[in-house]
């Protein structure tokens, strides 16, 4: 029997797609058969978007499966629900109010919701939040995989520089901070894939991890801000000057190289959204 042919270009494209972080779930995309997880009690109340948002210690993802956000837009709720950066969405159907109208959201799971580790607790809350957006905002979306411009991240040398091995049994991730004229990305017990995702958020473009590195690491990347007063790097706000500084900092600080490329990227396309139904 002749061996099946494997097309190298298709195989490479598939592997690059797998290197991108997936959405937490298909959510309310077409074709989902199983009953999605949902909160037992949900309150969505309009609030004045011109008033300062109340403090929310610990963030909106609470222990025990509760989600509480005192002032959130639909846009921010969508990002939190799917755990993806904004560039992974197609927002052409997004109405203007979805980024301006604010809501106080308080959602609680069933009383028998288990006591989960933080990462799994956040994942389960995200899935229930997806269901809430479908129920209350009538959100409908679907997945589309299409070629997109990406950055491919590889090792510039034989190994990672200026990083120590982390503890995989401990919680970790990559966060941002600022100092006088400087911007920082700090990783604590962070996988290199998490760093790639965070860099993609800063650059506003997917970053495919092709380093081959496994495990978790502790590291700090710092670069000079092109603005007089350094600001936290938000999604897609890093202009051409900033991009060059960040790419140089990654090469000099961690021994990571970014090059432009093309790869298939999984996008979530919004089909429908409405103002939330009343409580």
Enumerate the domain spans of the chain: 22-144+267-272, 157-254
* Three-state secondary-structure class, residue 79: helix
Q: Considering only CA atoms, which of 221, 219, 220, 223 is closest in space to residue 244?
A: 223
CA dist list (Å): 177 to 182, 185, 247: 9, 7, 17
pLDDT in tens, 31-67: 445 688 999 999 999 999 889 888 999 899 999 999 9
Q: Which residues, 6 or more positions from 269, have their beta carbon under 8 angstroms from its beta carbon?
A: 89, 90, 93, 141, 142, 143, 144
The answer to whether 175 touches 220, Cβ cutoff 8 Å, is no
Task: Please state, as a whole number, how many other Cβ atoms lie within 10 Å of the Cβ of residue 72.
Answer: 23
Q: Quick one: 48 exposed, middle or buried, by C-beta within 10 A (0-12, 13-18, 19+)?
A: exposed
Pull the structure tokens for residue 123. 């994942």
Q: Give residue 25's pLDDT band: very low, low, confident or very high (50, 70, 90).
A: low
pLDDT at 22: 66
Is a pLDDT exceeding 90 seen at residue 102?
yes
Give dist(CA 220, CA 97) in Å, integer: 38
Take residue 20 and report the two structure tokens written for it.
């991108």
Instruction: Check residues 263 and 232 and name the one with the higher pLDDT.
Output: 263
- Strand, helix or coil at 70? strand
Instruction: Give Dmax (Cα) for the chain.
Output: 71
3-state SS, residue 140: strand
pLDDT bucket at 236, cuts 50 / 70 / 90: very low
Q: What are phi and psi of 9, to 5 degrees?
A: -65, -40
Lowest mean pLDDT segment, chosen from 21-30, 47-56, 252-261: 21-30
pTM score: 0.75
Mean pLDDT of 164-175: 88
Q: Is 86 left (phi over 0), alpha (psi -120 to 50) or beta?
A: alpha
pLDDT grade, residue 111 (50/70/90)?
very high
Closest CA to 251 of 221, 214, 226, 219: 221
CA neighbor of 216 nearest in space, from 268, 258, 174: 174
Residue-wise pLDDT for 63-93, tens only, equals 999 999 999 999 999 999 998 888 899 999 9
Q: For residue 228, name the pLDDT band (cuts at 50, 70, 90).
A: low
| Strand bridging mode 216-224 / 164-165 | antiparallel
Residue 245 reports pLDDT greater than 90:
no
137 has a pLDDT exceeding 80:
yes
What pLDDT does residue 28 have? 45
Q: Worst-scoring range by mean pLDDT, 32-36, 127-131, 250-254? A: 32-36
Q: How confident is the model at residue 18 (pLDDT cuts 50, 70, 90)?
A: very low
């Amino acid at each position: 029997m002749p061996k099946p042919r494997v097309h190298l270009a298709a195989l490479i494209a598939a592997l690059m797609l797998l290197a991108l972080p997936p959405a937490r779930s298909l959510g309310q995309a077409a074709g989902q058969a199983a009953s999605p997880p949902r909160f037992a009690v949900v309150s969505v109340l309009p609030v004045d978007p011109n008033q300062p948002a109340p403090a929310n210690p610990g963030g909106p993802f609470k222990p025990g499966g509760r989600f509480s956000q005192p002032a959130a837009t639909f846009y921010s709720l969508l990002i939190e629900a799917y755990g993806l950066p904004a560039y992974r969405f197609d927002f052409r159907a997004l109405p203007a109010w979805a980024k301006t109208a604010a809501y106080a959201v308080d959602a609680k799971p069933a009383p028998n919701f288990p006591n989960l580790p933080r990462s799994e607790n956040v994942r389960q809350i995200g899935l229930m939040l997806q269901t809430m957006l479908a129920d209350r905002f009538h959100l409908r979306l679907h997945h589309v995989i299409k070629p997109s411009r990406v950055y491919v991240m590889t090792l510039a040398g034989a190994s990672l520089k200026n990083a120590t091995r982390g503890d995989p049994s401990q919680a970790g991730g990559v966060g941002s901070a600022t100092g006088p004229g400087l911007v920082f990305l700090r990783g604590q017990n962070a996988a290199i894939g998490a760093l790639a995702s965070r860099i993609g958020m800063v650059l506003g473009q997917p970053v495919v991890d092709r380093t081959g590195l496994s495990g978790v690491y502790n590291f700090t990347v710092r670069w000079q801000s092109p603005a007089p007063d350094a600001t936290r790097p938000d999604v897609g706000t890093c202009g051409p000057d900033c991009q060059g500084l960040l790419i140089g900092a990654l090469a000099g600080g961690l021994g990571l190289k970014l090059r432009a490329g093309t790869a298939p990227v999984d996008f979530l396309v919004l089909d429908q959204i409405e103002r939330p139904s009343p409580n």
